[in-house]
Amino acid sequence: MKKKDLINAISQRSGMGKGDSENALNAVIACISDLLSQGDSIVLPGFASISVKERAARTGRNPSTGQPLNIPASKIVSFKAGSKLKEVINA
């Protein structure tokens, strides 16, 4: 599903126009991005928990040459599905 398809689905389910649905989706995406960039986590009970975790620096290997290379520390987004989402997926 692409963003345009998601906007259409939101519009159909909510009764909002496509323009309003797109604005709502963009606002949600912007809020989630802002919160995660500030180090906050988002908990949507039953749906998911989204947070930022630190990944330590480590040594990897170049697959074509086998030479070791340093992989710097970074931040990653962690998504943990909630119980209701798991039930819907496994039904």
**How confident is the model at residue 91, as a pLDDT?**
87
pLDDT digits (tens, 9 = 90+) for 5-57: 999 999 999 999 999 999 999 999 999 999 999 999 999 999 999 999 999 99
| pTM of the model as a whole | 0.78
Q: Please, are residues 36 and 49 in contact by the beta-carbon 8 Å criterion?
A: no
**How confident is the model at residue 41, as a pLDDT?**
96
pLDDT digits (tens, 9 = 90+) for 79-91: 999 999 999 999 8
Q: Please, are residues 82 and 46 in contact by the beta-carbon 8 Å criterion?
A: yes
The end-to-end CA distance of the chain, in Å, is 20
For CA atoms 55, 59, 60, 64, give the dihedral sign: positive
